[in-house]
Structures are given as structure tokens and as C-alpha cells.
Amino acid sequence: MRQLTCIKRLSLPPMRTKPLNKTPPVAKAVTGSPSHELRIIGGQWKRSKIKVIDKPGLRPTPDRVRETLFNWLGQDLTGWKCVDAFAGTGALGFEAASRGAQSVQMFEQDAQLVSLLMDTQKRLGANAVQVQKGDAMMALQRIVPGSLDVVFLDPPFEALFFEKALQAAANAVAPEGWVYLEAPQKWQDEAIQACGLVSVKHMKAGAVHAHLLQRPSEG
């Protein structure tokens, strides 16, 4: 008779498993300054970047508008004396300096923007550019009459001093000198002439009306 052998079942301890993490790990948020960049279009610093921060009221001149403007002005600004009033990012002033301008004065009241302008000036080695913190209207009114070749005017759209700014710019440029104006609407010829200027070119890009104005020759 076959002898039955009793096999004692081994009682194995339950396997320990790591508890499932029901909540997935939270990824670290990527932090960064709310900023972007634009590029200089032409001249010795072509394709160089200019930092743009997101700030209420700050409207860098779009690439297409800048390209058109400097086509109007003739590309080469060698020897020109310029002012970039209400400079903001300095896109217009640095573009002018890149194309050979002899001097570019930038006026900006916002301390953070002034710091960025100075950083860009140093990084590019733009010795022709002078950045000044202060009121652009007062600065324009202090400029020696007839001493400039071009004034770039891009005031805040909610500003109430467009007319005064145009009059000051017209006084600052030499006869046959240029004033570039960005505004939320097209300026009529009569209003422009009342400021001592004549309208030469106009274009609309989005919400921006770009005007190229000229001080008539004397005599």
C-alpha cells in the first residue's frame, strides 16, 4: 500500500509592494521672464536681438513697418543725427545706428526700459547711441532747433500731446529733415501742416498708422 506523504504547505509571507502613487508627480513650473525678442533688420547689427518685455502700453514697431520706414529713408543713414523719443525698446534708434547714424539720442522715462536700453547699447557696442532717462517732450523742446536729420516719435497711444510732440520735432529737425510718427489714427494733412510739416508717406499695419513727415525747405 502506497504510503501517503503529507506535505506541509509553507505559509509564505505576503509580498510587499510599494504603494501606488495615485497622484502623479507635479512637474516643476518653468519660470521665465515674460519677454520676447525682435531683431534688427539691416546694417552692421543685422539679425542682432533686442529684448522686449511685456509691459502695458509698450508697442515695439513691427518688423514690416520698420523695414518699410527705412526703405522710405533710403537704408543708409551714414552721418545722420537722430532722436528716438519715447524710445521704449529702442528698435527704431538701434536700427538707425546699425545703418550708420552718427548719433542717436534715446529718451525714455521708464526705469526698467532704460536699463534694458543700456544693456542693449553695451552688448552691441553702439557708441553712437546715448540713452537718457527723462521726459521725452521736455527733451525735444530743449534740442537745438534745426540740428537733427530725423526724429522718431512713438508716444503712448493714450497720450494727449501728439500735436505738441509734432511741433517740437518739427522745430528740432533741419529743413528737409524727417519726422516719423506712429499714431492710433491717420493724421490729416491740415493738422500735419499746422505743426510745420508735410505728409510724405503713410501706411497702416494693424492698429498702427505710420507716417513719414518732412519739414519743408526754407525759401
Whose grid coordinates read 545706428? 97
Kind plus residue range of the DSSP H or E element containing 116: helix 111-124
Model pLDDT for residues 135-149, shown as the tens digit of each residue = 999 999 999 999 999
Mean pLDDT of 110-133: 96
Contact (CB, 8 A) for 86 and 153: yes
Q: What is the pLDDT of residue 35?
A: 63
pLDDT band at 159 (very low <50, low <70, confident <90, very high): confident
Distance of alpha carbon 35 from alpha carbon 110, whole angstroms: 16
Mean pLDDT of 117-144: 96
pLDDT band at 92 (very low <50, low <70, confident <90, very high): very high
Contact (CB, 8 A) for 94 and 129: yes
pLDDT band at 8 (very low <50, low <70, confident <90, very high): very low
Domains, the chain, ordered by start: 61-214 (3.40.50.150)
CA angle 47, 90, 132 (to 5 degrees): 140
Q: What is the pLDDT of residue 60?
A: 84
Q: What is the pLDDT of residue 170?
A: 97
Tell the burial category of 118 from Cβ atoms under 10 Å away from its Cβ (0-12, 13-18, 19+): middle
- Residues comprising the chain, all counted: 219
CB within 8 A of 120, min separation 6: which ones? 50, 51, 90, 94, 126
**Range with the poorest average pLDDT among 29-43, 63-77, 125-139, 200-214:** 29-43
Q: Is the pLDDT of residue 24 over 50?
A: no
